[in-house]
Amino acid sequence: MPNFIDMTIDEKVLKKFYNIITESKQVKYDQIAADRTRYLTVVMESISKEHNSSAVLRTCDCFGIQDLHTIEKGNFIHDPMRDIALGAGNWVDLHTYTEGNNPSIECLNKLKKEGYKIIATTPHTDKDINDIKIVQPIALVFGTERTGISKEVEAMADELVKIPMYGFTESFNISVSAAVALNILRNKLEQTSLPWKLSKEEQIKLKIQWSSKIIKDGENVEKEIRRRTLSEG
């Protein structure tokens, strides 16, 4: 980091957090934040089984995906199970859509406005996910366990892709599908020269967010650190 006087407010806040948390945590945060991405994001539409949604959350963390969007309709409620998510909810930003006449349309419209290409997974298409070319941010959509993506998602998707399979069963469990798909796309992303990693400023904000989550009353601690930092000038 630069000299304290030359630091931005966020850099100063992070430095003060780093005076509180352990050195091993600091090293881990620096390492993981540097490989985090918002260039790929995941959307789950009405996943009814908590262990599946929790497993996808954990998978997103493992592949460095910072944002997970969940569309909840009717009785479909996302509540990550601690024993499966293994604390991944502390590290991945969860965005939930429940309002309006159709949360699916609300979610995908928002992502499209943010520049994401909507790629929905379904076994009922000829295009293989391995054939995807990454030229812009991608939002990967997974549908319900029983019926797959909704008609609204299918209509709004820029592309429909399938995950290759070689057995009698038509589809993978959603958590397996997410892991296979993200492995393929993350490897593709690593081979590009696209600006897919978080910027320095985004990484700093993320490390502040992570630091506040592991400290008792972390949100208020951050507010106090910011107040003192601003008063110092």
Domain boundaries, the chain: 4-33+200-232, 40-163+170-190
The whole-number pLDDT of residue 115 equals: 97
- Residues 6 or more apart from 48 whose CB is under 8 A from it? 75, 76, 144, 145, 146
Q: Residue 188 corresponds to which tokens in the numbers above?
A: 């593709």
The whole-number pLDDT of residue 80 equals: 52
| Confidence band, pLDDT 50/70/90 cuts, at residue 199 | very high
Q: pTM for this one?
A: 0.90
Superfamily (CATH) of domain 40-163+170-190: SPOUT methyltransferase, trefoil knot domain (3.40.1280.10)
| Confidence band, pLDDT 50/70/90 cuts, at residue 47 | confident
∠ CA 61-23-63 to the nearest 5 degrees? 15
Buried-state track 38-54, b at ≥16 Cβ within 10 A, e below 16: bbbbbbbbbbeeeebbb
**DSSP character for 142?**
E
